[in-house]
Structure 1
Amino acid sequence: MSRRVVPAIAAAPLAAALGEAVPPPTFSADADFCVAVMLLGSVAFDMMLFYWLNYSDDSIRAAAWSVLSTSICTFTGVLIGMSWNQSFVYFILGPPEVAGPVKTILGNLLASIGWYILLQVVLMVVSGAVGLRPNSIVTIVLNLKCFGMLLGITTGASSLTMWGLIQTLAPHNLAATVGVLVSCVCTTGFMYRTGAWVRHFVAHGDGVVDEYERLWDYFVQETEDAALALSLSYLLVQSTCQTLMGWMPLKTGQAPPGVTPTRGDVLGLLVCGLGYVLLIPVLDLCVSHPKWPRPKSCAKMVVGKAGAFCLLFSMTWAVADILDSTAPPAQTVLALGTTFLGMVIILVLEYLKDLECTGRKFDQEAKALIGPVAVLIGFGWKQAFVGSLTTITAKVRVMPIPFQTTCMAAVMVAVVVPAW
């Protein structure tokens, strides 16, 4: 009996639950080959992290820990947000192909609003604005950074799922894709203004705004910006692909069925990603209005993360030339590649920071790249984990696929988050 398997077939159930088209199998991998790739990838990954986190240079080691922490948060937040959206829509409306696109969008909208409300409530309690107040401000700030970052990315991933679906269903032309971007900004901005009004009402309930309420407001705004930047950067890259190549990638960055990215597509998207990253210092130089610090900071996050998505999609297409991009071996290679590339970027930035010709301003711009590098690594890990879940749920099914995926993601998060 042949030991050949077609891992791409395993992607069908989860892709159907997501409402995505399933690319046809393009590669048949021997089981021994799959195990070998996974084993070598795991060992290389562990050794690379060990070397990176124990680097002799203090600044590089600190940057490595910062990137790793943010990457873990990105990985878990995106995994929770997207898997919960799938289960929520399935539970309320049924499978996407039965519910239809409009109801699916409305279900994702409700899920996104729910995450935003949870973000407000959790940070309100953790900050001490309402309820018991911890004795140490340092403890409050650390808890706000932890839960704020995690919930911000989760909210952003939930919103990304909804707006990505809207952009996919909209006409594939420049006006429509830009219209989706503008709609995302306006709709999310209205939701944020409503949240700000609620915070103002709660903070002024006793006539005095204390430091706990100020901390609540500050960290909510910070997480709101991170969530909006995640959605906008993804939509921006999808619009870029549509403009340059005439087609949009799937949610995972893979080319749609019947489309094979050329080397020119890969290089073109890489150049666009570099251009987005270079916009970070340009925004610092050109936007200096004192009343625009928050829009400026959010815009820098958007272009930085857009550069990360461009790089991630390009690497996905490059790996797809060799392996089936829907199979776990290819996704392991992609996760390993994004981690290695993230390490190289940090090493290069730290080397440039140590040069005499660079100053404090360059150090600030280099620090702004921590988030994009973390997005690159975090989404690379997320794709590898989702690929593994897809393979498992295709072989072993004890409940509807969205629920089973969410439960397995919850188990993974329960292991990762406490250690993080």
Structure 2
Amino acid sequence: MLMGSIGFQMLMFYLVNWPDRDIQRYSWQVISQTISIFCAVLLFQGCNGLVEEHFIKGSSPPMEVAVDMGQMLFWLTCMQIVLAVTSGALNEYFGAEPDMEKVELNLKSWSVLFSHVAGFATINAWGSIQQEYFSGSPLQALMVVPIGYTGLIIIYHFFDIVREHVSHMDDDVKDEFEEKWDEETEEAENDVAGLSLSFLTVQALRFAISGLLPNQEGNESSSDAFSHSSRQCHILMGCGVGFFVLSISVVNLERLWEEPSKRMERVIEILNNYFTFGLSWCFFYGVRWGMSAARFTDENALLMVSIALFLSVVSFLTIFILDKVEDNHLFGEDSEIAEGATEKMISGLGILIGFSWEQSFDTAVDVVAEGLKHECPPLISKMVMSVILVLIVFPAWRIYILPMERELSEEMTEEGGKKALLKQYAQQHFDLFLHNATDEDDLDKAHLLMKRHRRNAHGLQHPGHGVPSGLKHLMVTSSGIVEVDAPEEHDRQEKQGEKKKRKNAAHQKDLAVSLLGP
């Protein structure tokens, strides 16, 4: 675990500082997904262990299902309450007007964490029904998926009614913070549905392929885990490719549908998450079956770390290839389908890496807890370790990692691309001033051009507009007095820039940044 973690961390140092901004963005996304899933699983597993010990152990199947369903409702309700508070929707009760930028960051961090915790609680709840009442055949196991979807939609509808009621309690109008609460909560609920329903589907697929239904957590006995053939591994990974193809179909459906209703938008988003998570689950368990069957080790912890390292290397190599394909437009300049497929595959691979390292962390905590069983009950030690690790990791993720991921993701938008370009010019401006060999005339020119780039990035108007005609912006140079950055020239350059605007703001990284160029 130590060797694998250090190796992964050093690999991340290379990738987050890679010259290609897309690779940086994908790397930060992987780190963010890994840590959020890690924190969520630790919290849920620690709480779930105590619940099973005190409420489920020795009880009847109906009682077990009822407790698991109650735990799912508990985490879904916690998610609603936490997002309501962090969004600023309840600021009139707390007497503070929050800053929207800080609200968005806080909301995203808590949304991701609680959506994953609630997602694993939902897997556990519907999984208990799958284990107790629908384990007779793969088709029966698959029937839990539509049942689970219907149940979640009913729960979501109830929460939506509550949110609407709370939003209209004060002034009967939804302000921007209440809108943000509703938007982010629905997105988190969609993640919960996609994560849980895809896992239940892959459980049924594994049942159909191997003839064995894994337990609620997706684990098999040692003898069963080492018994899978290469053919079974290939079939399961082929199912992952099928999920990928279906996810592309959903993306294209979303683009072709001009004005879908709000309900249909939500169904499409859930399907989008469902197929993306399904791709990751299939690839993860397919590789796990293959490496378990290789029998190079009987130690579960070593096996999990090896799987995580293997998937990380293969996934990042694939991401590099797909990024080069997209950058070089090998499928054509205007191939939206190819771009959507590339983004979807990279997203699935990022989630896959997060899943694989989550399993390693979870196994490591189990091993340590088992080693301390003579000093402390494993359930207590696991809960304590989980809380301590989350208290250390979550603030670092919230303060440093998530903002970096959001900043790089925003560069994909037109506005974000302009700001990213402005930062590159500002850095060059800074370097020019620090370098003692920079000519004074070059500094003057760089400063004027820096102001132009700032206006472009923020959409500001040239200060010469509205000034009486005849006034000009002049600069004294060694070759004489010249007119620079006139409003008319500025407008002409803006129009030319619009014509040459790249289709994707992410390609801004290919633009030569020079304040001293012609």
Tell me the TM-score normalized by structure 2. 0.69
Matches within 5 A, 1:66-145: 66-91=29-54, 93=55, 96=57, 98-131=58-91, 132=94, 133-145=96-108
**Number of corresponding residues:** 380
Greater RCO, 1 or 2 (C-alpha within 8 Å, sep 6+):
1
Of 226, 240, 244, which aligns to 1:277? 244
Q: 1:63 to 1:151 in 2, by over 3 A?
A: same
1:383 matched to 2:359? The reply is yes
Question: What secondary structure, in the 3-state scheme, does the structure 2 residue paired with 1:55 have?
Answer: coil
Determine which of 284, 294, 300 is the counterpart of 1:312: 284
TM-aligned CA distance change 1:147 to 1:308, over 3 Å: same
Q: How does 1:5-24 map to 2 (within 5 A)?
A: none
* 1:180 equivalent in structure 2: 144
Q: CA deviation at 1:168?
A: 2.3
- The 1-side partners of 2:122 and 2:297 are apart by 29
- Looking at structure 2, the residues matched to 274 and 325 of structure 1 have their Cα atoms a distance apart, in angstroms, of 30
Distance (whole Å) between structure 2 residues aligned to residue 125 and residue 387 of structure 1 = 34
* Change in 2 beyond 3 A, CA 1:371/1:159: farther
**Mean CA deviation greater in 364-373 or 213-222:** 364-373
Instruction: Indicate whether 1:411 and 2:388 are aligned.
Output: yes
- Structure 2 vs 1, CA of residues 73 and 325 (structure 1 numbering), >3 Å: closer, same or farther? farther
Alignment partners' CA distance in 2, 1:363 and 1:209? 36
Question: Is residue 54 from structure 1 mapped to residue 52 from structure 2 by the alignment?
Answer: no
Q: Secondary structure in 2 aligned to 1:368? A: helix
CA distance in 2, matches of 1:402, 1:251: 18
1:238 maps onto 2:210 in alignment: no
Distance in 2 (alpha carbons) for counterparts of 1:151 and 1:302:
18
Q: Which runs of 5+ in 1 are unaligned?
A: 1-37
Report if the CA contact (8 A) 2:229-2:290 is conserved.
Answer: no
* Structure 2 counterpart SS, 1:391: helix
2:162 to 173, 198, 202: 198
Q: Quote the Cα distance in structure 1 between the aligned partners of 2:335 and 2:84.
A: 35
Q: Which amino acid aligns with 1:272?
A: C
Q: Supply the distance in 1 between the matched residues of 2:121 and 2:333 (Cα, whole angstroms).
A: 39
Residues 317 and 254 (structure 1), Cα distance of their counterparts in 2 relative to 1, 3 Å cut: farther
Are the aligned partners of 2:135 and 2:213 in contact in 1 as well (CA < 8 Å)? Answer: no
The question of 1:342 aligning with 2:315 is answered yes
| 1:147-190, Cα deviation, whole Å (9 max, x unpaired) | 11111111001111122222222233244123211111011111
**Residue 326 of structure 1, CA deviation:** 5.5
Residues 127 and 216 of structure 1 are in contact (CA less than 8 Å); yes or no, is this contact kept in structure 2? yes
1:41 equivalent to 2:4? Answer yes
3-state SS of the aligned residue for 1:197?
helix
CA distance in 1, matches of 2:145, 2:376: 36
**Cα deviation per residue 1:215-262 (whole Å; 9 max; x = unaligned)?**
000000000000111101101111111223322234554444543100
C-alpha deviation, 1:39, in angstroms:
4.9
Q: Deviation at 1:134? A: 4.2
Counterpart of 2:349, as a letter, is V
Cα distance in 2, alignment partners of residues 284 and 392 from structure 1: 43
Which of 372, 378, 382 aligns to 1:396? It is 372
Given that residues 254 and 325 in structure 1 are in contact (C-alpha distance below 8 angstroms), is that contact kept between their aligned partners in structure 2?
A: no
The residue that corresponds to 1:22 in the other structure is none
2:299 and 2:350 mapped to 1: Cα distance? 22
Q: Name the amino acid aligned to 1:69.
A: S
In structure 1, the residue corresponding to 2:143 is in which secondary structure?
helix
Q: Which runs of 5+ in 2 are unaligned?
A: 398-518
Amino acid at match of 2:285: F
Work out the CA distance in 2 between the residues paired with 1:329 and 1:47.
19
Contact 1:116 1:155 in 2 (8 A): yes
Larger radius of gyration: 2
Measured in 2, the distance between the counterparts of 1:250 and 1:358 equals: 47
Letter in 2 for 1:187: G
**Structure 2 CA distance for partners of 1:327 and 1:258, relative to 1, 3 Å:** closer
User: In angstroms, what is the RMSD of aligned CA positions?
Assistant: 2.1
Contact 1:79 1:409 in 2 (8 A): yes
Q: Which amino acid aligns with 1:374?
A: G
| TM-score using structure 1 length | 0.85
- CA 1:333–1:413: 2 relative to 1, 3 Å: same
Post-superposition CA distance 1:289-331 (Å, at most 9, x none): 4122211111011111111001110111122123446521111
Distance change in 2, residues 1:325/1:414 (3 Å): farther
1:373 aligns with 2:349: yes
AA partner of residue 372 (structure 1) = G
